[in-house]
Amino acid sequence: MDWDDLRIFLAVARAESLSRAGKSLRIDPATVGRRIARLETTLSARLFTKTPQGYALTEHGHRLMDPARAAETAFATAQDSLHAGTEGLTGQIRIGAPDGSANYLLPQVLTQISAENPGLEIQLVALPRVFNLSKREADMAIAVSRPETGRLTVQKLSDYQLHLAASRSYLAQNPPITCRDDLKAHRIIGYIPDMIFDKELDYLGEFGTTAPEISSNSVSVQTQLMRAGAGVGMVHDFVLPFAPELVRVLPETVALTRSFWLVRHADDAQIERLNRFAALLTQGLRRELQRLEALSLTAA
């Protein structure tokens, strides 16, 4: 059996589409289809069935997944060993992250990692949702809560702090806020309620304020709305150095602590290249988070 055929099989199984699989592999969908047909002929078994939703694994296809994943891990480990003597990391690594960390923490961290490893290609996917590592949407992901299911390895990166904030101009033009009840007289900015992808992001519900009058699924957009004077909302402390217009509101009364987690597929535990990258990412993120939160205190 050809490893390249198994690689294509895994891509289709994860993408559930010939075109999406082809895009990830950088080959045309027709070639993907021919290679899958060749593999099915070799195995004398149907691996996929076409449904309105895409390509679904058959029973034979499900049976092939574990051996194919094992072959993928073995191939990656073999590649890893060939580069074990090189000083820097090489190849491509994709990391998924929610847009708060992706916009305000990771650019500085990844810039340094890239500068120290010129042969490394880093892809940062910034989306406000949970990443599916089983489908190889990323090599690793930053999450805002600890996953409880799946074949994953999970490492706590760091706690981080959030406070209510608003722009100085907004506070100057609106009634004073001296207690939580005063918030009822103010426009609230937050997440679109039905697009909160993780319970840890339900900030406003935690301290009983009203539903947001202006909302977005993006941390960055919420921050920009506050900077424009649209209202009061929750802000990560590490964002405040990038938004000098904002000041904390009720800092002694309303404060939240959340955590970032680094999530990886369990099959990747033996891949030294990913282990080294994860260590650099962890050290860099903790250092940058500490630096920015310290700056936020001096600016407050």
Query: For the chain, what is the total number of helices (H) and then of strands (E)?
Result: 10, 11
Inform me whether the pLDDT recorded for 86 exceeds 60. Answer: no
pLDDT single digits (tens) 145-169: 998 888 899 999 999 999 999 999 9
In the structure, what pLDDT confidence band is assigned to residue 76 with cuts at 50, 70 and 90?
A: confident
Q: Give how far Cα 278 sits from Cα of 58, 114, 125, 219, 247, Å.
A: 35, 13, 16, 24, 34
Q: What is the C-alpha separation between 154 and 157, in angstroms, rounded?
A: 9
Inform me whether the pLDDT recorded for 2 exceeds 80. Answer: no
Inform me whether the pLDDT recorded for 17 exceeds 60. Answer: yes
Q: What is the pLDDT of residue 299?
A: 60
Interhelix angle 29-43/18-25, rounded to 10 degrees, is: 100
Q: Which domains does the chain have, with CATH numbers?
A: 3-82 (1.10.10.10), 91-158+259-295 (3.40.190.10), 159-257 (3.40.190.10)
Q: What is the pLDDT of residue 161?
A: 96
SS (H, E, C) 184-204: HHCCEEECCHHHCCCHHHCHH
Q: What is the mean pLDDT of the chain?
A: 90
In the structure, what pLDDT confidence band is assigned to residue 112 with cuts at 50, 70 and 90?
A: very high
Average pLDDT over residues 256-272: 91
> What is the pairing mode between strands 152-167 and 232-236?
antiparallel
Average pLDDT over residues 187-207: 88
Q: What is the pLDDT of residue 79?
A: 66
Inform me whether the pLDDT recorded for 39 exceeds 80. Answer: yes
Contact 267, 150 (CB under 8 A): no
**Among 107-116, 200-209, 215-224, where is mean pLDDT lowest?**
200-209
Q: What is the C-alpha separation between 1 and 45, in angstroms, rounded?
A: 13
φ, ψ dihedrals at 119, nearest 5°: -90, 5
Percentage of the chain exceeding pLDDT 90: 64
Percentage of the chain exceeding pLDDT 70: 94
Q: Token pair of 295, please?
A: 């700056």
Q: Token pair of 211, please?
A: 């539903």
pLDDT single digits (tens) 274-287: 999 999 999 999 99
DSSP string spanning 233-267? EEEEGGGGGG-TTEEEESTTT-EEEEEEEEEEEGG
pLDDT single digits (tens) 236-247: 999 999 999 999
Q: Which of 101, 154, 132 is nearest to 263 (CA)?
A: 154
**Among 48-57, 73-82, 134-143, 277-286, where is mean pLDDT lowest?**
73-82
In the structure, what pLDDT confidence band is assigned to residue 72 with cuts at 50, 70 and 90?
A: confident
Inform me whether the pLDDT recorded for 85 exceeds 60. Answer: no
Whole-model pTM?
0.76
Q: What is the pLDDT of residue 81?
A: 62
Q: Which of 108, 132, 143, 104 is nearest to 122 (CA)?
A: 108
- Spell out the residues 6+ positions from residue 289 whose beta carbon is closer than 8 angstroms to its own: 105, 158, 160, 238
Q: What is the C-alpha separation between 128 and 100, in angstroms, rounded?
A: 9
Inform me whether the pLDDT recorded for 28 exceeds 70. Answer: yes
Q: How far is CA 90 from the centre of its chain?
A: 22
Q: Token pair of 201, please?
A: 């992001």
* Helical H segments across 89-136, by residue range: 99-104, 106-116
